[in-house]
Chains A and B, each alone.
Chain A
Amino acid sequence: MSKHQLDYLDELEAEAIHILREVAGQFERPALLFSGGKDSITLVRLAEKAFRPGKFPFPLVHIDTGHNFPETIQYRDEMVARLGEKLIIGHVQDSIDQGKVVEQKGKNASRNALQTVTLLDTIAHYEFDACIGGARRDEEKARAKERIFSVRDEFGQWDPKRQRPELWNIYNGKIHKGENVRVFPISNWTELDVWNYIRRENIALPSIYFAHQRDVITRNGQLMAAADFLNMDEEDVIERRTVRFRTVGDMTCTAAVASEAFEIDDIIDEISTSKISERGARMDDKVSEAAMEDRKKGGYF
């Protein structure tokens, strides 16, 4: 009897591809939520492995807060052109214009929370029954308990008490009309796994992940990119620093870290020795201890 065990990146990759193909096989109108961050870029690569030379059995969906890093948008558009796949954009600005959400006021105003409404509207409009996302269980303790196939009710709500048992590699995607499933193929990956995979696969990333010179201000101990949508006042001192972004969300809620990591090898070294968790640079998680849990219950991914 021959014996064998896959290397961890091969195993994680195979698991994610299996999950993506289950989505294709089980749902009628799936979508892949693409944020322009490294996790969703990794998902796109995995989808190529799962379905090429065929087309993706789902469009890419970007919920655009309008406060993105320009580098992210440029990357997105080039990537979509290269892939020849369909991109659907849901604009938070439209939700604001329609009066469905109200823009936050004050210094730390962010559209991050508003995007949930745009996401739910986009899901409803296109009648998506499954939305694939790049969330990982190592990020945060609410995510640590979420299923790979996570059923949401018609309001997009996650109910931790009503989760389905998920056994072996068998995923139950049966839902009632109006419900949808959030699917997380890289649930079992860590931040370092994602980076090691990006290096192994030689995947291009938006330039802001790498160290660069940028005007920043310091707020609540965090370095924020100086941008027009940041409500700045005289207390905010703009400095030119060498920084990079460890996670890429909306400009108003994603902090930079001082870094000299110009190449992917430097980034992997930096993360391997880092003593701060990835979401430590996310203002949206600092609101309260249960911030992510509360947002998930409200329909966030």
Chain B
Amino acid sequence: MEILKFITAGSVDDGKSTLIGRLLYDSDAILADQLEALHRSNRKNDDGSIDLAILTDGLKAEREQGITIDVAYKYFQTDKRKFIIADAPGHIQYTRNMVTGASNSNLAIILIDARKGVVEQTIRHSFLVSLLGLPQVVVCINKMDMVGYSEDTFNQIVTDYQVLAGKVNLANVTFIPVSALKGDNIVHSSDNMDWYGGKSLLDHLETVDITVDDTAAHARMPVQWVVRPQTEELHDYRGYAGRVVSGSFKVNDKVTVLPSGFSSTVTKIELLDKEFNEATAGMSVTVHLQDNIDISRGDILVSSNGKPEVSQLIEADLCWMDTRALDTSHTYFIQHNSKLTRCRIQEVLHKFNINTLEKVYDEEFKLNDIGRIIIKTADPLAFDLYQDNKANGGAIIIDSRTNVTVGALMFRAAVE
């Protein structure tokens, strides 16, 4: 069985909480003690049915202050798949939350209110999903019960959305007409929309293709730790511990260590009492090489047949996540997989108005701003372009004064 991680994008008014609640409730993912609390609640829908949005209710700190605190994770499973929902609520910090949730997801659900169609918020959500490179998008056109389950309304929104998808470069978009409140096409196929021949949302989530690229040319393993027991018996043991983030390594493969550039051959791949002929994307392993070269945390093992870029000057998209604006004169830390070094944002090329998709020429980079920048790093980074290989194409910026994560970077090009 596989795990599908998805994010839901939409505001409270779009029925996002109700949709998640419905998905959990109708797939029997809610246990008796939680259900009891649900029935006990005073909050009910207008028709007296239980308000499923309660299932995504937040913390006391949130209720007291009327705020929402970033991403909550929810878990459920069916006979076919396991699911992790990154529920990213929030109005003020929406961009930051959604970027965080989307970075770890295979799929995004974008909610559209059938009465309103494609609105500014839809543009923003779609832009962010595209920026973070999510391979799959489901557009749920919700509140179909409020528009008389109209096929024409659905078709019009699909047409409008396809124009938007073209602009922001989203492929693999699936459209599903739903009513989260009434349960139409969430888990069970709806009797109210015979004109819709597609799958229910859950059915789609259970079957959508989420396999990852295992191309050997993209083999990348950032070294996290060197295993050196230094006992008498294991005097010469030297294993490089890390997670294969993309591609695959086989025993006898030629590999290069970056940024040093030394090459060697894989002699053994192991983990505790198991040995493997091949380590594929996602596996955590310990790798042995033929030659005794100086490798430490922060280095990366890559396939000698397909090397990443190595540069200290990189063009990247930046999402700013801190209340203190970007300071181009300040030296920050950058963390790219296991590599930590210092950096400076050398130049802001432009920002995006994420509601209109226009470029904006404004140097000031504030909370939730997104734009294209050039970054200079103290040590060279061995990276891939985010659009080619997400797993080795993203990094975070850490403020050296506060130690807080203040920015997310998606590498777009090495600057010559």
Interface residues of A (CB under 8 A from B): 1-8, 10-15, 17-18, 21-22, 24-25, 48-55, 57, 137-138, 141-142, 144-145, 151, 160-161, 163-170, 172, 174-176, 187-188, 190, 192, 274-277, 280, 289-290, 293-294
The stretch that binds A, out of B119-127, B189-197, B206-214, is: B206-214
Given the contacts A24-B225, A176-B403, A5 and B2 also touching, CB distance less than 8 Å: yes
Given the contacts A144-B72, A170-B395, A21 and B335 also touching, CB distance less than 8 Å: no
Query: Judging by beta carbons under 8 Å apart, are B229 and A170 in contact?
Result: no
Residue of B nearest to A151 (CB): B403
Given the contacts A1-B215, A11-B3, A165 and B82 also touching, CB distance less than 8 Å: no
Q: List 24 A-B contacts (CB under 8 A).
A: A3-B213, A5-B212, A6-B282, A7-B1, A8-B3, A14-B284, A15-B284, A21-B225, A24-B224, A25-B224, A52-B272, A53-B227, A53-B237, A137-B75, A145-B72, A160-B59, A161-B67, A161-B69, A165-B96, A168-B103, A188-B73, A188-B75, A276-B31, A293-B60
Given the contacts A160-B59, A168-B104, A169-B243, A144 and B73 also touching, CB distance less than 8 Å: yes
Given the contacts A1-B214, A8-B3, A137-B73, A18 and B284 also touching, CB distance less than 8 Å: yes
Query: Judging by beta carbons under 8 Å apart, are A4 and B212 in contact?
Result: yes
Residue of B nearest to A138 (CB): B75
- Give the docked Cα–Cα distance between A195 and B2 (Å): 17
Residue of A nearest to B60 (CB): A290
Q: Which of B34, B224, B281 contacts A22 (CB 8 A)?
A: B224
Chain A residue contacts of B338, Cβ below 8 A: 22, 25
Query: Judging by beta carbons under 8 Å apart, are A8 and B272 in contact?
Result: no
Residue of A nearest to B210 (CB): A5
Q: Which of A172, A274, A289 contacts B403 (CB 8 A)?
A: A172
Query: Judging by beta carbons under 8 Å apart, are B224 and A48 in contact?
Result: no
Q: Does B337 have its Cβ within 8 Å of any Cβ on chain A? A: yes
Interface residues of B (CB under 8 A from A): 1-3, 31-34, 57-62, 67, 69-75, 77, 82, 84, 96, 99-100, 103-104, 210-215, 224-225, 227-229, 234, 237, 241-243, 245, 248, 271-272, 280-284, 297, 321, 333, 335-338, 390-391, 394-396, 398, 403-405, 408
- Give the docked Cα–Cα distance between A163 and B70 (Å): 9
Chain B residue contacts of A169, Cβ below 8 A: 104, 243, 245, 337, 391
Give the distance to chain B from A186, nearest Cβ to Cβ, in Å: 12
Query: Judging by beta carbons under 8 Å apart, are A50 and B284 in contact?
Result: yes
Query: Judging by beta carbons under 8 Å apart, are A293 and B61 in contact?
Result: yes
Query: Judging by beta carbons under 8 Å apart, are B2 and A8 in contact?
Result: yes
- Give the docked Cα–Cα distance between A168 and B84 (Å): 14
- Give the docked Cα–Cα distance between A275 and B36 (Å): 11
Query: Judging by beta carbons under 8 Å apart, are B75 and A17 in contact?
Result: no
Chain B residue contacts of A290, Cβ below 8 A: 59-60
Most buried by B among A25, A55, A168, A188: A168
Query: Judging by beta carbons under 8 Å apart, are A54 and B227 in contact?
Result: yes
Chain B residue contacts of A170, Cβ below 8 A: 335-337, 394-396
Chain B residue contacts of A52, Cβ below 8 A: 227, 272
Q: Which of A5, A21, A190 contacts B75 (CB 8 A)?
A: A190
Query: Judging by beta carbons under 8 Å apart, are B212 and A3 in contact?
Result: yes
Query: Judging by beta carbons under 8 Å apart, are B243 and A18 in contact?
Result: yes
- Give the docked Cα–Cα distance between A4 and B408 (Å): 27
Chain B residue contacts of A188, Cβ below 8 A: 73, 75, 84
Give the distance to chain B from A155, nearest Cβ to Cβ, in Å: 17
Query: Judging by beta carbons under 8 Å apart, are A293 and B227 in contact?
Result: no
Query: Judging by beta carbons under 8 Å apart, are A167 and B272 in contact?
Result: no
Query: Judging by beta carbons under 8 Å apart, are B405 and A164 in contact?
Result: yes
Chain B residue contacts of A14, Cβ below 8 A: 243, 282-284
Residue of A nearest to B97 (CB): A165
Q: Given contacts A165-B99, A165-B321, list 7 more A-B pairs with CB under 8 A.
A: A18-B224, A18-B284, A54-B228, A141-B58, A161-B67, A167-B408, A190-B77
Give the distance to chain A from B90, nearest Cβ to Cβ, in Å: 12
Chain B residue contacts of A145, Cβ below 8 A: 58-59, 69-73
Chain B residue contacts of A277, Cβ below 8 A: 31, 33-34
Most buried by A among B59, B72, B96: B59
Query: Judging by beta carbons under 8 Å apart, are B281 and A165 in contact?
Result: no
Give the distance to chain A from B82, nearest Cβ to Cβ, in Å: 5
- Give the docked Cα–Cα distance between A145 and B70 (Å): 8
Q: Which of B32, B59, B67 contacts A276 (CB 8 A)?
A: B32
Give the distance to chain B from A42, nearest Cβ to Cβ, in Å: 14
Query: Judging by beta carbons under 8 Å apart, are B242 and A21 in contact?
Result: yes
- Give the docked Cα–Cα distance between A10 and B175 (Å): 32
Query: Judging by beta carbons under 8 Å apart, are B243 and A144 in contact?
Result: no
Give the distance to chain A from B206, nearest Cβ to Cβ, in Å: 14
Give the distance to chain B from A300, nearest Cβ to Cβ, in Å: 15
Query: Judging by beta carbons under 8 Å apart, are A4 and B281 in contact?
Result: yes
- Give the docked Cα–Cα distance between A78 and B31 (Å): 36
- Give the docked Cα–Cα distance between A180 and B47 (Å): 49
Given the contacts A144-B74, A168-B104, A188-B84, A2 and B2 also touching, CB distance less than 8 Å: no
Chain B residue contacts of A175, Cβ below 8 A: 403
Give the distance to chain A from B334, nearest Cβ to Cβ, in Å: 10
- Give the docked Cα–Cα distance between A24 and B227 (Å): 11
Query: Judging by beta carbons under 8 Å apart, are B284 and A17 in contact?
Result: yes
- Give the docked Cα–Cα distance between A54 and B240 (Å): 12
- Give the docked Cα–Cα distance between A24 and B243 (Å): 14
Chain B residue contacts of A289, Cβ below 8 A: 60
Query: Judging by beta carbons under 8 Å apart, are A6 and B284 in contact?
Result: no
